[in-house]
Amino acid sequence: MHAVVKRYRRPGAELEEVAKPTAGKGEVLVETRMTSICGTDVHIWDWNHWAQTRLKKLPIIFGHEMCGEVVEVGKGVKSVKVGDMVSAETHIVDGTCYQCRTGRMHICRDMKILGVDTDGVFAEYVKLPEMNARKLPPKVGPRLGSLLEPLGNATFTVMPNDCISDVKGKNVVVTGAGPIGLMAVAILKSVGAKQVIVSELGSEKVRFSLAKKVGADMILDAGMGTEALVKSVKEATDGNGADVCLEMSGAAV
- Point out the residues that are catalytic: 40, 43
Distance CA 186, CA 178 (A): 12
Distance CA 9, CA 189 (A): 43
Which is it for the CA torsion 94, 44, 201, 151, positive or negative?
negative
CA angle 90/191/34 to nearest 5° reads 30
Q: What is the DSSP string of 65-79?
A: EEEEEEEEE-TT--S
Gyration radius (Cα) of the chain, Å: 20
Q: For the chain, what is the total number of helices (H) and then of strands (E)? A: 8, 14
Question: Residue 207: helix, strand or coil by DSSP?
Answer: helix
Distance CA 43, CA 49 (A): 8
